[in-house]
C-alpha cells in the first residue's frame, strides 16, 4: 500500500471513531452529550504526557532515564487529535493530502537510552515538543496556521525516530484493538484480554511486526482468527 492510501485510511478511521464516540456534530465543537470539544487542548495535554516520559524534573529521580516506548505511544495519541482537528475543516482526502505535503525532518534526535551527556541538553531535546505545545495554544485556525501545526507535528515524529510506516502501524493497531475489544464484549465484561498467556496487545504487535504492510481490515481478520483459535468463536 502506498503512502497516500495509508494516510487516507488513517483519516477515514479517525473520522469514523469521532462519529461513533461523539455523534455527528463534533465538527461544530460539541459532542452528542453536550460536551465542548477542543482538539488543540487535547494536543497540548498529550504533549505534556509525552514530556513526562523524559526525566525533566530537576528535583526528582535525578538519575532517571527516558521511556522512549511511551514517547511513541504519546505521539500516536497526539496524532489522533491532530487528525481530528484537520477533519473539522477538510474532508478526508484533502486532509490526507495536506498531511503528506507538510512532512518535515527534525534537527533533533531523541536518544534511545539516556546518557550522562543528555542530562545537560534536556531543553534542546524537548524543544520540538514544546514548540508543538506552544503552537497548539495559539488562537488561530487559519489555513496557514494548520500547515504550521502539521509541520511541527512531523518534526516531532522525526525527532522521536519514528517513520511514517511506524506511525501508521501503531495507529491502526491501537484503533483496531479498540474496535475489536468493543465488538467482543469489552463493555459487558465478557472479553478475554489474555490470549494463551499473552496480552491481546502483545499478540497484535506481533501480527504487525510479521506483516508490516498490513491493512486495517486484514489486521482485524487476523485478530479474529487468533481469538477464535482460543475457543471464543
Which of the stretches 77-85, 116-124, 129-137, 188-196 binds Mg ion when contact is defined by CB under 5 A?
A: 77-85
Q: How far apart are CA 162 and CA 99, in angstroms?
A: 16
Which residues sit opposite 203 in a β-bridge? none
Q: Which helix (H) or strand (E) holds 201?
A: helix 200-210
> Could you give the angle at the alpha carbon of 214 between the alpha carbons of 209 and 226, nearest 5°?
70
Q: How far apart are CA 81 and CA 39, in angstroms?
A: 6
Scanning residues 37 to 66, which ones bind Mg ion (CB under 5 A)? Answer: 46, 49
CB of 41 to Mg ion, least distance (A): 13
Rule CB under 5 A: say whether 224 interacts with Mg ion. no
Cβ closest to Mg ion, residue 50 vs residue 203: 50
Find the binder of Mg ion among 77, 82, 172, 222 (CB under 5 A).
77
CB 156 within 8 A of CB 75: yes
Rule CB under 5 A: say whether 9 interacts with Mg ion. no
Cβ closest to Mg ion, residue 48 vs residue 147: 48
Q: How far apart are CA 22 and CA 34, in angstroms?
A: 9
Which of the stretches 71-79, 137-145, 203-211, 220-228 binds Mg ion when contact is defined by CB under 5 A?
A: 71-79
Rule CB under 5 A: say whether 158 interacts with Mg ion. no
| Contacting residues toward Mg ion, per CB under 5 A | 46, 49, 74, 77
Amino acid at each position: 500500500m502506498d503512502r497516500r492510501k495509508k494516510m487516507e485510511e488513517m483519516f477515514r478511521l479517525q473520522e469514523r471513531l469521532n462519529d461513533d464516540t461523539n455523534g455527528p456534530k463534533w465538527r461544530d465543537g460539541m459532542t452528542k452529550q453536550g460536551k465542548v470539544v477542543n482538539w488543540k487542548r487535547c494536543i497540548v495535554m498529550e504533549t505534556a504526557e509525552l514530556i513526562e516520559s523524559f526525566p525533566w524534573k530537576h528535583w526528582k529521580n535525578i538519575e532517571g532515564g527516558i521511556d522512549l516506548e511511551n514517547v511513541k505511544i504519546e505521539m500516536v495519541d497526539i496524532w489522533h487529535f491532530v487528525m481530528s482537528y484537520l477533519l473539522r475543516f477538510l474532508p478526508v482526502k484533502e486532509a490526507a493530502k495536506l498531511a503528506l505535503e507538510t512532512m518535515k525532518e527534525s534537527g533533533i534526535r531523541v536518544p534511545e537510552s539516556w546518557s550522562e551527556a543528555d542530562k545537560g541538553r534536556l531543553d534542546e531535546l524537548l524543544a520540538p515538543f514544546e514548540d508543538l505545545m506552544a503552537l497548539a495554544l495559539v488562537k488561530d485556525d487559519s489555513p496557514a496556521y494548520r500547515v504550521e501545526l502539521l509541520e511541527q507535528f512531523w518534526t516531532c515524529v522525526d525527532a522521536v525516530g519514528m517513520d511514517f510506516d511506524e506511525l501508521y502501524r501503531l495507529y491502526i493497531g491501537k484503533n483496531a484493538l479498540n474496535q475489536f475489544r468493543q465488538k467482543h464484549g469489552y463493555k459487558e465484561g465478557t472479553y478475554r484480554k489474555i490470549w494463551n498467556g499473552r496480552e491481546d496487545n502483545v499478540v497484535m504487535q506481533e501480527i504487525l511486526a510479521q506483516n508490516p504492510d498490513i491493512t486495517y481490515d486484514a489486521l482485524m481478520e487476523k485478530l479474529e482468527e487468533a481469538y477464535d483459535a482460543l475457543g471464543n468463536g
